[in-house]
Chain A
């Protein structure tokens, strides 16, 4: 028992394969970044559409965010990788193929855009109507009001919640090995086949994820604390 425990904390095997494992982690990181950008971009469109005057646009956006908020990432990942290409091939009458990497970015991007759209919506709503009226009364254009008055405040209010979602997204990148993206988990299982030492390998992966996320969160929190001190957020 104690031997097992000791073995699981002996991370030398993790260190030994660091190059292979790190290059796998590079895949996770780049999928996270691209999916994060995709999710954020869609979230702004859908979040703003949730507040549109037009009932159809508003309801469509609500449907979108409800669908993706309530569908597991794993199901989306499998659907995008296996099902969507078949549908598109039949629809477009040309062969349509998606690399595992592209499918991972797309699936995780849309999966998290639903959550983030709600964050964007809440952030936009948190800007008092009076701030917009004051700008209107001074003759400012809608565009200037959006970019100078509403967005800077809304984004600051969104950040703490968005940070949580980026953390979730980052953790979710660990499922992409299921469609054969050669990420860190994929590499861990490959090394394991070779070495037959699952305990230190999977424990190492868990600690590695945890360490990266804690460090990143700390850095971002330091940055945003400065705003709070100045009374912005």
Chain B
């Protein structure tokens, strides 16, 4: 009873203080059947920071990212976006799942970019970008088009607005996907191996856009295999192993003098 009141107070405090983390993850676990993919992860992401998630395949980094916007439903734990829970409310140890429309409203705050672009092939480039601002935010077409063009300019694709995705290169498609996510003006951008499906000569143009966003102070969480990007752009690196955060720290530490043996081995393997 007393605990409940104290929790309620600290919740309220979280919501009110400006320094509340943009995303707060508490005791997040995820299992697929008997396989435990994420194990009791707690971590905060601060506004304006770029965090890279590294780890071998199967370490749970993509699943972690997909749990943040509830594309995967966590088995346990809590995720708060600017102090407000997404997907489920934990009260006195029991979890109550939110309705699909409540989850949708929270998802608007998180932009996501996928490995396989996932552009809608039956819509033009501009159509892809303005769809959510019109259907979700309810903007009139004219206003949505204005915003859409602004973000297409940002990813250097102004001249492609009336093309269909099938006519674009992989790099161009991924830049459209970034513009589509940005057009909702999310608080945080999530990148799930955004360059892994691209030919090597096309990764540069996408990474360049991502660097630009980071330089503008966009809050970003990036699952990546691009070690140079992680090293040069991130403020913080999380190294995942077996569904848990094995090591975290600034890139200089992770790449220079990692504390854990596994992290040291991973870094030395991928850097060579």
Contacts and interface: CB of A to CB of B under 8 A. Distances in A.
Interface of A: 128, 130-131, 133-142, 144, 148-149, 152-153, 156, 230-232
B126 to A, nearest CB: 15
Contacts of B108: 138-139
Contacts, number: 78
B23 to A, nearest CB: 15
A141 B101 contact: yes
B118 A133 contact: yes
B132 A139 contact: yes
Nearest to A133: B71
B192 to A, nearest CB: 10
A141 B118 contact: no
Given A148-B131, A231-B167, A232-B164, A139 B121 contact: no
Nearest to A230: B164
A138 B122 contact: no
Contacts of A130: 114, 116, 118
B69 A137 contact: yes
Given A139-B184, A140-B104, A232-B164, A134 B114 contact: yes
| Most B-side CB within 10 Å, residue of A134, A135, A142, A148 | A134
A153 B110 contact: no
B135 A153 contact: no
Given A134-B114, A136-B107, A148-B131, A142 B181 contact: no
Contacts of B56: none
Interface of B: 69, 71, 100-101, 104-108, 110-112, 114, 116, 118-122, 131-132, 135-136, 164-167, 177, 180-181, 184
B123 to A, nearest CB: 8
A71 to B, nearest CB: 36
Given A136-B104, A137-B71, 7 more contacts: A128-B118, A130-B114, A133-B118, A137-B69, A137-B181, A138-B180, A139-B108
| Most B-side CB within 10 Å, residue of A130, A139, A148, A149 | A139
A134 B105 CA distance: 15
* Chain A interface helix/strand/loop/mixed: helix
A152 B104 contact: no
5 contacts: A134-B120, A137-B107, A140-B131, A141-B135, A231-B121
A140 B135 contact: yes
Contacts of B132: 135, 138-140
Nearest to A232: B122
Contacts of B136: 138-141, 144
Contacts of A232: 121-122, 164, 166
Contact of A134 (B104, B118, B122): B118
B120 A131 contact: yes
Given A133-B71, A232-B164, A138 B121 contact: no
B27 to A, nearest CB: 24
Given A148-B131, A232-B122, A137 B100 contact: no
B107 A139 contact: yes
A228 B242 CA distance: 45
A133 B114 contact: yes
Nearest to A130: B118
A137 B164 contact: no
A61 B65 CA distance: 36
A134 to B, nearest CB: 4
Nearest to A139: B108
Contact of A141 (B104, B116, B131): B104
Contacts of A152: 122
A129 to B, nearest CB: 9
Contacts of A133: 71, 114, 118
A169 to B, nearest CB: 27
A219 to B, nearest CB: 22
Nearest to B168: A231
A144 B137 CA distance: 12
Given A142-B100, A232-B164, A149 B107 contact: no
